[in-house]
Structure 1
Amino acid sequence: MARSLLLDCDTAVQNVSMPRELKVNQDTEIHVFCDASATSYGACIYILNPSPNPDNKGDCKLVFAKGKIKPKNTVDNDNTIPKLELTAMLVGAKLVKLIQTSLSIEKHNVVFLWSDATVVLQWLSSHDIDSAYVHRRVVAIREACPGATLMHVSTHDNPADIITRPIRVKKFIINDLWWHGPPWLTSPRHQWPTQQVKYDLCPPLYNPQMIDVNVAIVEAFNTSFYYKDRSIQTL
């Protein structure tokens, strides 16, 4: 990288600041956005305080983000983008507990897990998973966020997409999607993009009902005498 570009980045980063004040109340929501690419994956966490007035917008701020480079010393089958998307969701789910503890957010506060990968949302909505790799991570996500709501978000509106792609520092600093999440997130929920499919993080296990059945055992009718005496007269 050219020295002038490095100096430009260093100067721009010095101008980055985040507000320290974070208001938390019983209506505070945690929104986790996750994404992955062929080279990296990660998640970003937002605190949303909905407006008590449905005609006004709420307040949403980025509070935490974490990105990782795709590991090299793993089986190639574990490095597929869908599996990295699932791992990104696990990163975000684990961060939820950290945020709840650090900001004293009650566990009953609403948590949303957002992903643009429908296959990940399908895995999290199923108990029928063949892959041990996928199953372990699905279980871990459910344990970390048992009451979370799964949501699909378009790639265009997913702020975690920024974690997985190169971006100029100057553009990054003024990127409102990164600092405040999708523009519609602060609107009332009925104004959010329509969810085409409803996903359930902890679907109920199949539990067949036990039915009592009375069975009568009847001895077989002995017809040997009939075959011995075939005429009605001899009977």
Structure 2
Amino acid sequence: MRTLLKLCYFFSILFLTACGGKDAKKQYTQEKESTAAIETSEMEQESEIILFFGNSLTAGMGLDPEEAFPALVQNKLDSLDLDYTVINAGLSGETTAGGLNRLDWVLKQKVAIFVLELGANDGLRGTPLQETRSNLQSIIDAVLEKNPDTRIVLAGMQMPPNLGGDYTAEFRQLFPELAEKNNATLIPFLLEGVAGIPELNQPDGIHPTTEGQKIVANTVWQVLRPLVLKEALAQ
């Protein structure tokens, strides 16, 4: 099988907005790796595709691709002999608008499960929440238009309190509301048990370490496992 924040962390998380723009070479490399993974999956379509579509958290910024949580999810799938191929389509610095613009080339193959992990960079930039909501909905609509049978998994995120109580609360609710509207599966908070814990984050205080990624992978797996087992039984 192929291997293709606790709130105290919020005082440093604003750095995340620049994580994609300061290192163009890394971003270019991520794009090449993601494209190669998608092209490989086109040629090897006998297994079901789980596509992780997100930002630097999904990409595993600062780590080897094999240490990022999508690759760790692949390991869990393999250990159960489940015929799924994970594609990591994370891109550092990505916003919901950017994600919407690059979606077409990501959907070149049939996707069984689409894990949508975007919105954090919107919030950190103060993007109007209606715009973020609209972009996320448009991404979901495009995925389902391509294949109505694709299962959508939405990764929830939270914002720093210094952005204002109303904004923070509305941002937090955006994800469960979208999940309910679209009958999607929700990961309540992607960084549960990792955010704000120094030893589980890299020196920037934002991106998980190798050990932090393992916890994120477990959080994601708790949601994905029932889906993939249900699909396996239905086949």
TM class, shorter-chain normalised?
0.3 to 0.5
TM-score normalised to the size of structure 2? 0.34
Q: Please state which structure has a larger fraction of its residues in helix.
A: 2
- The structure where strand makes up a greater share of residues is 1
Report which of the two structures shows the higher radius of gyration computed on alpha carbons: 1
TM-score by length of 1: 0.34
